[in-house]
Chains A and B, each alone.
Chain A
Amino acid sequence: MEADLQLVQQCLQGEGAAWEELVHRHTRRVYNLCYRFTGNAHEAEDMTQEVFLKVYRTLGSYRALHGGFTTWLTSVSRNLLIDHYRRTRKDRVTSSLDDQDSPAEQLHSAARTPDELALAGEISVKVQRGLEKLSPDLREAVILRDLQGLEYREIQDVLGVPEGTVKSRINRGRIELARLLEHMGMRPE
């Protein structure tokens, strides 16, 4: 948090190296958020670039009093993802559960042993497919809580909704996802 704040201040003073460091520190997190929300590696890559372009342009509007830089970055990402979702709603085709693994999942699985690949790859792909079937409100709440590891308070700041709504969305999202996964043949451990 402190390091991010310092980097932001250095960026605002025109230090390119600080911006470079900020990008390298947060690219992976933003890319994961985008991929888990869109379910598409190319879209996630484009969205990640778009997020950082917006952050670069609006960095001056960030105030540390409004929360940590990660929360602010996640909020910017989430807003762009929702805009992207609304823009592409008409063109979106619901993917089948039997679809091939996406390139990102294959890349992710490449560094693991065959056993882990078989197990974790199957879980990852099915959870991803399940997430894509949730409504955007529930999907983003579950992703932020269980995949990005944000606290309820931070999710409240990111989504800009009351605490009760955050709890309700996380709860409903998990229950729906659990039922979808069971429907796909994944039994709880």
Chain B
Amino acid sequence: MTRNCAQIEDRLGEYVDRLLPAAERAEFEAHTAQCPLCSGLLRQVRGCVAQMHQMEMLEAPAGLAPAILDATLGPRAQKAAFWRVWLGSLQLVWQPRFALGLAAAVLSMALVLPALDMDPRNLSMSDLHPANMYRAADRRIHILYVRGAKFINDLRVVYEIQSRFGGSRPATPPEGEPNPPQQRPGDPRRERNRADEIQLDSMILASVSSSQTERSY
């Protein structure tokens, strides 16, 4: 049995949706292969369906769901929805890539600012200007250099004094010599030696404290 154009038109939708049984499908295809009107209509309908399938779903307005919840559950739902929207907006910040970048930036600032002798609590925008950061770094390097040089000079003086005073006084008596006689308390020679030691200690202490004072500046 061959089908006429009206019957083909009636089956068009089912054919496009692949709902026709195999036998009817074969008859449909046999007819459209010979009939330019029906094949043209089939092409039109297929194109129309394809165009509708290309249409994406529209986004609902942002306030629609909260408005529905407000109308059904009351203001509490609206408040919850507000927090949902607010927390949702933070999802961008919560991404691991962003968090790692933020941590790296904080770490860099934590290392750079103390090195430049800047206090993060009293930081101003002008401190972050490249020229000011360069000046701060230059000043910091010079201070470190001067303190280092001063410290080495102080050490040299201390060791020189120690070697000068300590070298003339043997630590142990040479072998074969009798032990020096025990000095009684109140012996003038012992008192003089003690005074020399105190004087030496005060000089060392003075030189060390002066170097520390310089460093603190």
Q: Do A and B come from one complex?
A: yes
Residues of A within 8 A of B (CB): 16, 19-20, 23-24, 27-29, 31-32, 35, 41, 45, 48-49, 52-53, 56, 104-105, 107-108, 120, 123-124, 127, 142, 146-147, 152, 167-168, 170-171, 174-175, 177-179, 181-182, 186-189
Q: Give complex CA distance A35, B53 in Å.
A: 16
The residue that A147 contacts in the complex, of B41, B52, B60, with Cβ under 8 A, is: B52
Contacts beyond the supplied A174-B16, A179-B44: 9 A-B pairs with Cβ under 8 Å: A20-B80, A31-B64, A32-B58, A127-B51, A146-B49, A171-B10, A174-B13, A174-B48, A178-B45
Contacts of B52 in A (CB 8 A): 127, 142, 146-147
A19 to B44, CA, bound (A): 43
Q: Which residues of A contact B72 (CB under 8 A)?
A: 19, 23, 52-53, 56
B57 close to A (CB within 8 Å): yes
- Nearest to A105 among chain B residues (CB) is B58
Question: What are the residues of chain B within 8 A of A147 when measuring CB–CB?
Answer: 52, 55
A41→B59 CA distance, assembly (Å): 11
- CB within 8 Å for A171 and B47 given contacts A19-B73, A20-B77: no
**A70–B58 Cα gap in the complex (Å)?**
18
- B9 interface residue, CB < 8 Å from A? yes
Are B55 and A31 closer than 8 Å at their CB atoms? no
Interface residues contributed by chain B, number (CB under 8 Å): 41
**Chain A positions within 8 Å of B47 at CB level:** 178, 181, 186-189
A186-B67 Cα distance, complex, nearest whole Å: 38
Q: Residue on A with the closest CB to B13?
A: A171
A171 touches B12 (CB 8 A): yes
Find out whether the CB atom of A28 lies under 8 angstroms from the CB atom of B60: yes
User: Roughly how many angstroms separate A101 CA and B216 CA in the complex, as a whole number?
Assistant: 73
Contact of A108 with B58 in the complex, beta carbons under 8 Å: yes
Interface flags for B161-193 (1: CB within 8 Å of A; 0: not) read: 000000000000000000000000000000000
17 examples of A-B residue contacts, CB within 8 angstroms: A23-B69, A29-B57, A31-B61, A32-B60, A41-B61, A48-B60, A49-B64, A49-B67, A56-B72, A120-B56, A174-B12, A174-B16, A174-B45, A177-B48, A181-B48, A186-B51, A187-B47
Given that A107-B58, A120-B54 are known contacts, is A49 also in contact with B10, CB under 8 Å in the complex?
Answer: no
Q: Are B68 and A52 in contact, with the CB atoms below 8 A?
A: yes
**What residues of A have a CB within 8 angstroms of the CB of B54 in the complex?**
120, 123
Whether the pair B57, A174 counts as a contact (CB closer than 8 A) is no
- CA separation between A166 and B176, bound complex, in Å? 129
CA distance A104 to B54 in the complex (A): 17
Contact partners of B49 in chain A: CB under 8 A: 146, 174
* Contacting residue for B55 out of A19, A56, A120, A167, CB 8 A: A120
Query: Which A residue's beta carbon lies closest to that of B61?
Result: A45
Binary contact track B1-38/A, C-beta < 8 Å → 1, others 0: 00000000111111011010000000000000000000
Q: A28-B60, A174-B45 are in contact. Are A181 and B10 (CB under 8 A)?
A: no
Q: Does chain A have a CB within 8 A of B43?
A: yes
The 10 closest A-B pairs by CB, nearest first: A188-B47, A171-B13, A178-B48, A31-B60, A178-B44, A146-B52, A52-B68, A56-B72, A108-B58, A28-B60
Known pairs A53-B71, A56-B72, A171-B13; A124 contacts B55 (CB<8 A): yes
